[in-house]
A and B are shown apart, each in its own frame.
Chain A
Amino acid sequence: MPTTIIEGHELSVDDEGFLTEYDQWDPQIAEALAQAIDVPLTDEHWKVINFLREDFKAHGATPTLRRVSTEGGVDTKTLFALFPKKPAKKMSYIAGLPKPAGCV
């Protein structure tokens, strides 16, 4: 299993750099991950990240864009503005969660 060092912590990640251990994440790490992909975090970003973390904890899966908009109260248009181009990938990367599977 590959690892990476962020903010002085050694973290487990997958091939694409997504964190693989829910409990290794903290808000400081989120800031560092966000910086790495050029997404400066605002309160609105945090609303999404916190929803993702809580929903993952409750249901064991990263919520999809649809779920963030219907259950988390941030619509898809806004998600594209907050996490440009690839919101599903970027928001889960910063939240330290796997990409939403969405689809098999």
Chain B
Amino acid sequence: MSANRLSAKLKDWHITVIDRDDNHRYQPGFLFMPFGIYSPEQLTKSRRETLSKKVNLVFGEIDRINGDENKVMLTNGQVFDYDYLIIATGVAPRPDQTPGLAEGIESNDAVHEFYSYDGSLALAKKLKNFQGGRVVLNIVEMPIKCPVAPLEFSFLADDYFKTQGIRNKVAMTYSTPLGAAFTQPIAAKAFGATLEEKQIAVEPDFMIMEVNNETNEIVSYDERRIPFDLLISVPVNMGQDFLSRSGLGNELNLVPVDKFTQVSDKYSNVFALGDANNIPASKAGSVAHFEVDVFVENFIQHIAGQEMTHRFDGHANCFIETGGGKAMLIDFNYNVQPLPGKYPYSIIGPMRLLKQTRMNHLGKMAFRWMYWHILMPGRPMPVSAQMSLSGKETELLDHQQLAKVAS
């Protein structure tokens, strides 16, 4: 998306995109594939086709960045020089970071995950023949990309087991390292109520230490044990190892950047966009998209030697599938937590925030189309990059939070 936007603006620049292969996966679809809602073919497109013809596309694995000499090295020995570098290598699930988890996914049929294409596909197979038992969802550690996805998974699973006629044979548990169902208080309450309504037990403050594949239990650091017949894990999400190898990553291999302009703390000609950076915003496609809107304007100023005057506000906008053909919507930024109210979408009309509606569900399903046809080509979305307070019930905020909103 950045490459497409920039190539339209910077006519005589050379833009090169480096990625591993030509398979661009629509990750939000990994949530739906286990329930047979999307097929694998619907989630994959050619990268070449989503990129402007003016952009040079190279396939290869990045091995290292040399920020002092402005070079990107690939594992196959190719070296690329740059004047400006944009890092957008995302985050990936890392089951190897939790004892027993990678082994479990590999060889214990009761241990699964849906944050990777392969994992999501394997889980679809498993659920098809699932007869019932204890289903435990576990989030290993925050932050994760799309922090609402584990909630959505639980809601959709409840729905799925109902339609299979086995809900009464399934006991569901949602275990999270957070103190509640979500990070932000008002939304956490709404999601907590939805979990309760669907009889999904919550195990808060659960920091997993290991998966025991002998007894089929997860064990926390404070020695709580949760037995399972099916574990659905959301592994630690980490940036790419090569970033830390290159001295550009923190303890999670995320690139430290300025939260308003996404310029690297270390090099003024390096930016990190999307999930790959360490800004205190959700790791979500919507965030990456709003961020790019601001970035492109800033980048044009930056290369002209001017000060970057546009500031990214941490805007995130996420639909949460709640099952039964309904969804909720949240909209928030660095300073304003998700609030109830109305969301003024242009074109399709207002949507309800933090309420389960059919309209929100249609919005979520329409997003896949928008992703391929509007987001990727870099066309303008019917949503503004800056969060708006219009329609939101701000009276729910106390004076401290209101002061933050105003700042």
Q: Residues on A close to B: CB < 8 A?
A: 1, 14-15, 59, 61, 64-67, 70-71, 76-77, 80, 84-86, 89, 101-104
- CB of B143 within 8 A of CB of A103, answer yes
Q: Which of B141, B144, B205, B316 contacts A86 (CB 8 A)?
A: B205
Q: Which of B147, B183, B221 contacts A76 (CB 8 A)?
A: B221
Instruction: Kindly report which residue of chain A lies nearest to residue B278, judged by CB atoms.
Output: A61
Q: Give per-residue flags for B159-178: 1 if the beta carbon is below 8 A from chain A beta carbons, else 0.
A: 00000000000000000001
With an 8 A cutoff between CB atoms, is B193 at the interface?
A: no
Q: Which of A71, A86, A104 contacts B280 (CB 8 A)?
A: A104
Residues of A within 8 A of B407 (CB): none
Q: Which of A59, A65, A70, A103 contacts B147 (CB 8 A)?
A: A103
User: What distance in Å separates the Cβ of A64 from its nearest Cβ neighbour in chain B?
Assistant: 8
A103 and B205 alpha carbons, distance in the complex (Å): 14
User: What distance in Å separates the Cβ of B251 from its nearest Cβ neighbour in chain A?
Assistant: 4
With an 8 A cutoff between CB atoms, is B184 at the interface?
A: yes
User: What distance in Å separates the Cβ of A40 from its nearest Cβ neighbour in chain B?
Assistant: 18
Count of B interface residues, CB-CB < 8 Å: 24
Secondary structure call for the A interface: loop
Q: Which of B183, B184, B251 contacts A66 (CB 8 A)?
A: B251
- CB of B222 within 8 A of CB of A84, answer yes
Instruction: Kindly report which residue of chain B lies nearest to residue A63, judged by CB atoms.
Output: B251
Between A and B, 23 residue pairs with Cβ closer than 8 Å are A14-B400, A59-B256, A61-B280, A64-B251, A65-B207, A66-B141, A66-B252, A70-B251, A71-B251, A77-B209, A77-B221, A80-B207, A80-B221, A80-B222, A85-B222, A86-B205, A102-B142, A102-B143, A103-B147, A104-B143, A104-B147, A104-B184, A104-B281
With an 8 A cutoff between CB atoms, is B282 at the interface?
A: yes
**A67 with B147: in contact, given A77-B221, A101-B280, A104-B184 (CB under 8 Å)?**
no
Residues of A within 8 A of B314 (CB): 104
Residues of B within 8 A of A65 (CB): 207
**A103 with B178: in contact, given A76-B207, A80-B207, A86-B205 (CB under 8 Å)?**
yes
A65 and B222 alpha carbons, distance in the complex (Å): 14
Interface of chain B residues 121 through 164 with chain A (CB within 8 A) = 141-144, 147
Closest 7 pairs (CB-CB, A-B): A103-B142, A80-B221, A70-B251, A103-B143, A102-B142, A103-B183, A67-B251
Residues of A within 8 A of B251 (CB): 64, 66-67, 70-71
A103 and B207 alpha carbons, distance in the complex (Å): 14
User: What distance in Å separates the Cβ of A38 from its nearest Cβ neighbour in chain B?
Assistant: 15
If A65-B207, A80-B221, A103-B143 are given as contacts, then 17 extra A-B residue pairs at C-beta distance below 8 Å, sorted by A number, are A1-B400, A15-B400, A59-B256, A61-B280, A66-B252, A67-B250, A76-B207, A77-B221, A80-B207, A80-B222, A84-B222, A85-B222, A102-B183, A104-B184, A104-B280, A104-B282, A104-B316
User: What distance in Å separates the Cβ of B147 from its nearest Cβ neighbour in chain A?
Assistant: 6
Residues of B within 8 A of A15 (CB): 400
Instruction: Kindly report which residue of chain B lies nearest to residue A102, judged by CB atoms.
Output: B142
User: What distance in Å separates the Cβ of B403 from its nearest Cβ neighbour in chain A?
Assistant: 9
A104 and B280 alpha carbons, distance in the complex (Å): 7
A101 and B181 alpha carbons, distance in the complex (Å): 15
Interface of chain B residues 227 through 273 with chain A (CB within 8 A) = 250-252, 256
Residues of B within 8 A of A104 (CB): 143, 147, 183-184, 280-282, 314, 316
Residues of A within 8 A of B179 (CB): 86, 89
Interface of chain B residues 164 through 222 with chain A (CB within 8 A) = 178-179, 183-184, 205, 207, 209, 221-222
User: What distance in Å separates the Cβ of A47 from its nearest Cβ neighbour in chain B?
Assistant: 17
Residues of B within 8 A of A67 (CB): 250-251
A71 and B142 alpha carbons, distance in the complex (Å): 17
A76 and B141 alpha carbons, distance in the complex (Å): 12
User: What distance in Å separates the Cβ of B221 from its nearest Cβ neighbour in chain A?
Assistant: 4
Residues of A within 8 A of B222 (CB): 80, 84-85
A86 and B220 alpha carbons, distance in the complex (Å): 12
Residues of B within 8 A of A102 (CB): 142-143, 183
**Residue among B252, B314, B316 with most chain A CB within 10 A:** B252
Residues of B within 8 A of A66 (CB): 141, 251-252
A60 and B257 alpha carbons, distance in the complex (Å): 13
A86 and B224 alpha carbons, distance in the complex (Å): 13
User: What distance in Å separates the Cβ of B320 from its nearest Cβ neighbour in chain A?
Assistant: 15
